[in-house]
A and B are shown apart, each in its own frame.
Chain A
Amino acid sequence: MASEMMLHPAFLVLVGVVVLPLLPPGARGKALPLFPLGALWVCWNLSPEHNFSVEFLEYRLSILQVDRLSRIFGIVFSLIGFAGGLFALHLRDVRQQLAALLYAGSALGLVFSGDWLTLFLFWELTALSSTVLIWSRQGTGSRVGLRYLLVHLFGGGLLLAGILGQVHATGGIGLQLLEAGRLSSWLILGGIAVNAAIPPLHAWLADAYPKATVTGAVFLSAFTTKSAVYLLARVAPGWEILIALGVVMALYGVVFAVLANNIREILAYHIISQVGYMVAGVGIGTPLALNGTVAHAFSHILYKALLFMGAGMVLQATGRSRLTELGGLGGKMPLTLWLYMVGAFSISGFPLFNGFISKSMVVSAALDARYQAAYLLLVLASVGTFLSIGLKLPYFTWFGRGRPEVGVSRPPLNMHLAMGLLAVLCVGFGVFPSLLYAELPYAASYRPYTLPHLVESIQLLAATFFGFWWFRSKLAGQPTLTLDTDWFYRRPAGWVRRCLVDGVSRLFDRADAGILAGIGWLAPRFRNPTLWFVHGSEREQGPAISGDDPDAARPKLEFAVTLILLCVLLFTAVAFLR
């Protein structure tokens, strides 16, 4: 079994979590990318004959279950783990390094899980480890990290409830296709929807990702949403509701990205938009659509990480990430600009870039399956993608009015190297799509470079540019905040805290003070019962003592007589009653 475990890509990365803290601080950053690199090698050589499982109570846990779907997600997760590690090579923060490795390892464990229990364990580990990447950013991370964690615990709760129902209904823990008639299927779908950022359960993404660390955001952009897409493709292909949800996602992200002012928030909203294509592809459910979903997840992980690296470099070099505080950086950061633009061309679907060869598969599959409205709306969403990521963000960050007051520090070489690696992959898969298509899980052929597709794309992109240039002044950043569905838990948070925390605390404080006052009143009276019979002023001052007469401090004769009389009355009453 030990040798089998060694062949698990997640195991290799999780070993890094144990080994890394034992290394000298200076060597940790250099060692970080080696663990995902090892996992990449293992993933590449994995086949179904490597599957293994272990007995746990009365269940058999499928720790490693390999097929073409899990393998390609494993490959891209390992690849981005390596690229992210290279980007973070200079980092000296062991907390972030460990969180990144744990996050990558959990995501790998998740995609190779063959049963619900193993999957759930890794699902929760991704939530916990990714939260640390948000918390690690000083200043802004703590509150938003807590919101992020609570939302994911809610999603995990939904998933667990669904899994328990599923296990009860089927009698087994193996991953199976969800059946629409079961409540447990809908609960599982709800849990996945949280991680896939399907509206209205998406707001955590745009809330948290812009506030993560520079290197943490690269890892965040890759794993959580795409492992949810993997699970959707695994258990819910052909669920038509996903087509509508995917189209809504694609457009929702576009609209909110137009309103966003923070460059990493723009990118975050376009994760939602791009994942919308993948969710719609799962909903269409044909082999071409599912291949499109997988191919687009693969491409998206590469170019989105590249884009987050570019935006992170701007934040690192200038300390700023708001469009209203940026501009004219092209001359100061030319290499970052052009590497970012490779990612922007890719996400926008330019020919010869990887977004062109993957997004179009989903869009074509929608038309082939005769979902006309979905097709046209997905085309419209791709206009919005180019508008925000390819035009608005670079124009107002690197071009436009320069800001001489903005100082730019020189970024470490490894950050540019990581961006360069991803840029080469984006172009490489765009020029040679068969390299990706050969690894896709389903039997469907697709040719991206046809004359109609090229003509359509060129018209779409060129016309979008004309529209942008005409209306570009309206796209300038504004120092505002855009309300999203997190309003429903952020806005009442103060009110809920006042009622359920502050109010209860005040009540406890008052009860505490009341009890202490009561004890303060009772204690002297039980210590000296004569105080029950003296007036307040006398009690406060104590009995009047005159001269050296000791009798002055004793109780008066009337008091003793009264006590005796009371005792007599009491005993008489008791005797009568008996």
Chain B
Amino acid sequence: MKRWHWISLAAVMIGSLVLERVAVHHTSDYWWSHIPGLYGWLGLLGCIGIIVGSKLLGRKWLQRDEHYYDGE
């Protein structure tokens, strides 16, 4: 990743947060729909949660040697 990639990505993220603040009016009445940057949080925390949770599940329970079924 080059520097301009990061700058573009940050600009897009900040732009979307600003647009959300000034131009988006949520019609949904759920408490969570009023959290600022909700979808950004969902993306970041969801991504980390999926990686960590899946890897934990794999290491503790599901992952086996590639030849696990070879004797079947």
Contacts and interface: CB of A to CB of B under 8 A. Distances in A.
Contact of B12 (A462, A471, A478, A481): A462
Interface in B18-72: 19-20, 23-24, 26, 28, 30, 32, 37-48, 50-55, 57-58, 61-69, 71-72
A493 B47 contact: no
A383 B44 CA distance: 9
Contacts of B20: 455, 459
Interface string A382-393: 011001000000
A455 B68 contact: no
Contacts of A490: 69, 72
A379 B64 contact: no
Contact of B55 (A258, A456, A494): A258
A481 B64 contact: yes
Interface string A251-278: 0001110110000000000000000000
A467 B63 contact: no
Interface string A456-484: 11111111111111110011001111111
A478 B58 CA distance: 11
B31 to A, nearest CB: 10
A491 B63 CA distance: 14
A57 interface: no
Chain A contact residues: over half helix, strand or loop, or mixed? helix
B56 to A, nearest CB: 10
A463 B43 contact: yes
Nearest to A254: B50
Contacts, number: 143
A342 to B, nearest CB: 19
Contacts of B72: 490-491, 493-494
B48 A471 contact: yes
B2 to A, nearest CB: 13
A438 interface: no
Contacts of B67: 481
A482 B62 contact: yes
A565 interface: no
B55 A470 contact: no
B19 A463 contact: no
B1 interface: yes
Nearest to A496: B72
Interface in A371-386: 372, 376, 379-380, 383-384
A383 B46 contact: yes
A367 interface: yes
A419 B1 CA distance: 27
A458 to B, nearest CB: 4
A479 to B, nearest CB: 6
B51 to A, nearest CB: 5
Interface string A359-374: 0000000010000100
B30 A372 contact: yes
Contacts of B66: 479-481
A372 B32 CA distance: 10
A468 B47 contact: yes
A507 B43 CA distance: 61
Nearest to A483: B62
Given A478-B63, A481-B68, A383 B42 contact: yes
A139 interface: no
Contacts of A481: 63-69
Nearest to A147: B72
A202 B54 CA distance: 18
A523 interface: no
Most chain-B CB neighbours within 10 Å: which of A461, A470, A484? Answer: A461
A376 B13 CA distance: 21
B46 A494 contact: no
Nearest to B1: A469
Given A255-B57, A379-B42, A483-B64, 9 more contacts: A380-B50, A451-B23, A462-B40, A467-B46, A469-B1, A471-B47, A481-B64, A482-B63, A494-B71
13 contacts: A255-B57, A376-B32, A376-B42, A452-B24, A459-B37, A460-B42, A463-B47, A466-B9, A467-B45, A471-B47, A481-B63, A490-B72, A494-B72
Q: List the 10 closest pairs (A to B, CB-CB), nearest first.
A: A463-B43, A467-B47, A258-B54, A459-B39, A383-B46, A463-B44, A459-B40, A464-B43, A460-B43, A480-B63
Interface of B: 1, 9, 12-13, 16-17, 19-20, 23-24, 26, 28, 30, 32, 37-48, 50-55, 57-58, 61-69, 71-72
